Structure 1
Amino acid sequence: MEYKRYPKYKESDVAWLGEVPEHWMVRRLKWVAKCRNSNVDKKSVEGQKPVELCNYTDVYYNERISNNISFMVATASDEDIVRFSLRAGDTIITKDSETPDDIGIPALVDESAEGVICGYHLTLIRPLSIADGAYIFRVVESSVSAAQFYLGASGVTRYGLSKGTIDGLVINVPPLEEQQKIATFLDRETTRIDALIKKKQRLIELLKEKRQAVITQAVTKGLDPNVPMKDSGVEWLGEVPEHWSFCRMKDVCSSIIDCKNRTPPQVDDSKYFVVRTTCVKNGKFSTDGGYFTDHKSFIEWTQRGTPRAGDILITREAPMGEVCLAPENIPFCLGQRMMLYRPAQELLDQNFALYALQGPLVQDFISMKSQGSTVGHLRVPDVYNMPILVPPIDEQKEIMKYVEKRDKSLTTLLKKVKVSLELLIEHRSALITAAVTGQIDVRNIA
């Protein structure tokens, strides 16, 4: 749908903002709302009154703050209860983050959350009489506000927004009635877009489940439904082909090469790549997060063995158990928290091994290893002892022809759905920004 522009515009006198509707004002946030940085901690203090506390994650993961959220129970002083009790129409934003591009995330308070206390690491924004709460929420949600927060965030390893930065947010201020119309329009349109986004997200989940089901069937049952079967000895797995061998990864490997548990130095304009855990995701290799080092370091970091085509890369932790085939035509060494598995070619096809490592037997093994630990960690003996079902090598190759064909089809479809999802998210953001900056006139369609 194409939206009309306003009949007349004027210069905003803000270089990056450009023109705004002639009858709109451009103001700092502090002129239309009261901003308060909360200092109410989640700890309970003796002598203070018990309260429900809206914390960082409540805001970060919810666009609306309502009584559907299970709020944390804490305590607060009488003064803090007065200053930070939520009211319908308030906007709360996250004022701290690990990165400056993920800060100032807003949520709007509805009437059911009144009386809940705004917690630490959050800023409470309460509109004054000339501002509509729902409109202020959409302004803060817009990309122009996100850009200002990005530039205004300070820090090195953790970033924060000062009260001055939040107060100084430059926003457009239409007449109150028009603010309400814009907010109503955006509520309706974002609800419609959000429903489409949920459908796309659900489709992505189903495609991932289908892909995993194809892998599971292939590496635990094979392709022929008529072959004699035997009990696997694993309750949830049931029967497996009678002629398949139940092995440990050590029985079908040539070698396992562990990393040095140190990081090689980064050297720009070199050709020796350092593979890190960020390079291995969803069974695929990527250069994301990797870097280059010099020849001397490459020699030192490959003393235990030089990686080659057909090897399988395994992440030891953060995350644990991600796998992919080693990249070809790139001389590389293992960065910290990486491991390399080399199949015995006469016993185990590299592609079958890759899918088996993504299958239920290995993933269940990894899940068991991570229980009771806040950070899962794989060691070489763990990889040696990973269980694997091994068909004859010729059958492995036939299975891989089928799996790779199905995987390619599902992956292609998954990429298309992800692209359409990204476009929906971009459209949602662009629509909000266009409405609150006056690039479209929605007064007569709200």
Structure 2
Amino acid sequence: MSNTDWYGVVPSSWSISRIKNILIERNESNNPIKTDFILSLTNDRGVIPYSEKGAVGNNSKEDIKGYKLAYPGDLVLNSMNVVIGSVGISNYFGCVSPVYYMLRPRNQNDSIEFYNYLFQTTELQNALKGYGNGILEIRMRIAMSKLNTFLLPKPDCSVQNKIVRKIKESEVKIDQLINNQQQQIEKLKEYKQSLISEVVTKGLDPNVEFKDSGIKWIGRIPTKWRIVPLKHSHLITMGQSPKSESYNTDQMGKPFLGGNSDISEGFSNPKYYTTEITKTCDKYDILMSVRAPVGTVAVSLHDAVLGRGLCSVKSNISNEYSFFYMTFLENKWDEFISGTTFESVNADDIKNISFVLPSLKEIQEMVVFLRDKTMKIEKLIKLKNDKISLLNEYKKSLIYEYVTGKKEVS
């Protein structure tokens, strides 16, 4: 896509101009230090205080002399990530990394929000990719001298403000629909969790006699069921991370599963391979995170090397039933967690956690029941996630049509 192709045909009353003729860079140094309030730019939350990003501590004052200043109303761009939408308007006075550009309108009547919306369009981001220098597409630094030559559509100031108002009105309506879908998804997830919890602790027969399990978070169980340590019927393997220099993305060795980032949507999702074989798990083993957040459960789709952020659990009765039971345990690890700055759970606590053991016949019946019910719930969740994706795509297309004049505003 060329510099001019991305916006297509614009209304005849609009002009086309280089960025340098519309926006001016604020290249103001923080040396001598004028503020130690560090800001950061995120794709999903825009410009936020660095302390809210989740990092441990801010940089020292000596480190921020080379930083730049950002003012309220500045359009902040990450020169390394602008092609993936790392752009936002600052609501703060603070200092930012020197990789950021701060832009403001040359004409004070122009709307910075209009240009922020322009930079949020996928079409503009794709057109910018040819301007970057770097190996990785998402880490291509675009020099300000090159960015200044990029062409933008420019309507009259009054039209810019009308477009911004119209986009905001549309966003409110679309976001309400998205929020409604997200709330329904959360309710479905809660229902799924409560259903699993009920079945693995109470069974399927409503007329069975119950007894007190003696464990508060399990409650009453059928009288013929037993409570045993998890190790009684499971092989539990704690992960052991190989040396980092053995990691690769060339599929040399075995897939590496190190922690929460390698399990998503209930399944293993390795990003790296390793040639150093330490502790391993087999395909279809149950995986559980043993570091914050403790208790996340997934099924391994790989014969893999297991890092110290995970353990594998293999049942000698029914892996499928044990998966449902481990799902029930996901929120039950609080009393076993150790560590204040980095939460974790140890091998003995995992091995000795209480496991509710029904008869084999009941286990088979519960697996069939839960498999059917949870699959139906997951299908509903997928439908709602698909709706959210469509709504987000619709919002993006709407913004693009407004900021390029394809859709008129009254």
- Taking structure 1 as the reference length, the TM-score comes to 0.71
> In 2, are the aligned partners of 1:104 and 1:146 still within 8 Å (CA)?
no
Residue aligned with 2:211, SS = strand
Partner of 2:192: 211
Is the partner of 2:312 in helix, strand or coil? strand
Q: CA deviation at 1:143?
A: 1.6
Return the alpha-carbon distance in structure 2 between the equivalents of residues 390 and 38 of structure 1: 67
Contact 1:50/1:75, CA 8 A, preserved across alignment:
no
Write the mapping of 1:314-393 to structure 2, written as runs, cut at 5 A.
Answer: 314-317=288-291, 320-327=294-301, 332-337=303-308, 338-345=310-317, 349-360=318-329, 362-365=330-333, 368-369=336-337, 371-374=339-342, 376-377=343-344, 380-393=347-360
Deviation at 1:267, TM superposition (A): 5.6
The correspondence of residues 265-280 of structure 1 with structure 2, limited to 5 A, is 274=255, 276-277=257-258, 280=263
Determine the C-alpha separation between the residues in 1 that align with 2:336 and 2:80: 35
Partner in structure 1 of residue 25 of structure 2? 35
Residues 326 and 194 from structure 1, CA distance in 2 versus in 1: closer, same or farther, beyond 3 angstroms? closer
State the secondary structure of the residue aligned to 2:26: strand
Q: Contact conserved, 1:261 with 1:336, CA < 8 A, in 2?
A: yes
Residue by residue over 1:226-281, the C-alpha shift from the partner in whole angstroms, topping out at 9 and shown as x without a partner, is: 3333333343543333332222211112564755635576665x9x8625355533
Partner of 1:231: 212
Taking the aligned partners of 2:213 and 2:288, their CA distance within structure 1 comes to: 26
Matches within 5 A, 1:10-49: 14-36=4-26
Deviates more, 1:241-250 or 1:221-230: 221-230
- How do 1:45-444 residues align onto structure 2 when only pairs under 5 Å count? 53=37, 55-56=39-40, 60-62=43-45, 84=69, 86-87=71-72, 90-94=74-78, 102-107=84-89, 116-121=92-97, 123-129=101-107, 131-148=110-127, 159=139, 162-164=143-145, 167-254=148-235, 256=237, 258=239, 261-262=242-243, 274=255, 276-277=257-258, 280-285=263-268, 289=271, 301=277, 307=282, 311-317=285-291, 320-327=294-301, 332-337=303-308, 338-345=310-317, 349-360=318-329, 362-365=330-333, 368-369=336-337, 371-374=339-342, 376-377=343-344, 380-438=347-405, 440-444=406-410
Q: Assess, with a 3 A threshold, how the Cα gap between structure 1 residues 153 and 377 changes in structure 2: closer, same or farther.
A: farther
Query: How far has the Cα of 1:126 moved from its partner?
Result: 1.8
Q: Following the alignment from structure 2 to structure 1, what is the Cα–Cα distance between the partners of residues 120 and 352? A: 50
SS at match of 2:224: coil
The one-letter amino acid paired with 1:238 is: G
Deviates more, 1:134-143 or 1:234-243: 234-243
SS in 1 for 2:227: strand
Tell me by how many angstroms 1:172 deviates. Answer: 1.2
Aligned mates of 2:313, 2:201 — CA distance in 1 = 21
Distance 1:428 1:85 in 2: 28
**Secondary structure at 1:240's aligned position in 2?**
strand
TM-score normalised to structure 2 length? 0.76
Q: Verify the 8 A CA contact 1:145 1:169 in the aligned structure 2.
A: no
SS at match of 1:230: strand
1:415 is displaced (CA, Å) by 0.4
Q: In the superposition, relative to structure 1, how do residues 356 and 86 fare at CA in structure 2: closer, same or farther (>3 Å)?
A: same
Match of 2:242, SS state, is coil
Cα separation, 2, equivalents of 1:168 and 1:370: 55
Distance 1:246 1:344 in 2: 16
Distance 2:350 2:12 in 1: 67
Pick which of 384-393 and 223-232 moved more: 223-232
Q: Give the superposition deviation at 1:431.
A: 1.3
Mapped partners of 1:62, 1:308: distance in 2 = 38
Tell me the secondary structure at the aligned position of residue 247 of structure 1: strand
Q: CA RMSD in A?
A: 4.2
Structure 1 residue 316: Cα displacement: 4.9
Q: Structure 1, residues 360-402: CA drift from partner, whole Å, max 9, x if none?
A: 3x5422674265243x555544432333222222212212222
Task: Measure, in 2, the Cα distance between the counterparts of 1:196 and 1:189.
Answer: 11
- Report the 3-state secondary structure (helix = DSSP H, G, I; strand = E; otherwise coil) of the residue aligned with 1:106: strand
User: For 1:334, what is the secondary structure of its paired residue?
Assistant: strand
SS at match of 2:160: helix
**Residues in 2 aligned to 1:32 and 1:313: alpha-carbon distance in whole angstroms:** 54
Give unpaired runs (5+ residues) of structure 2: none
* Cα distance in 1 for residues equivalent to 2:375 and 2:390: 23
- Distance, in Å, in 2 between the alignment partners of 1:156 and 1:245 is 59
> What is the CA–CA distance in structure 2 between the aligned matches of 1:418 and 1:372, rounded to whole Å?
35
User: Are the counterparts in 2 of residues 246 and 390 from structure 1 also a CA contact under 8 Å?
Assistant: yes
Query: Counterparts of 1:235 and 1:91 in 2: how far apart (Å)?
Result: 54
Deviations 1:30-62 (A, max 9, x none): 221223357659xxx9xx7789x57226x6554
Whether the aligned pair in 2 keeps the contact of 1:84 and 1:117 (CA below 8 Å) is yes
Is the 8 Å Cα contact of residues 35 and 95 (structure 2) preserved in structure 1? no
Distance change >3 Å, CA 197–CA 18, structure 1 → 2:
same
Secondary structure in structure 2 of the residue aligned to 1:181: helix
Shift of 1:283: 2.8
Deviation at residue 410 of structure 1 after TM alignment? 0.4
Report deviation, 1:333. Answer: 3.4
The answer to whether the 8 A contact 1:313-1:326 is kept is yes
Aligned length: 388
Separation of aligned partners in 2, 1:101 and 1:367: 45
SS in 1 for 2:408: coil
Change (3 A) 1:224 1:101: farther
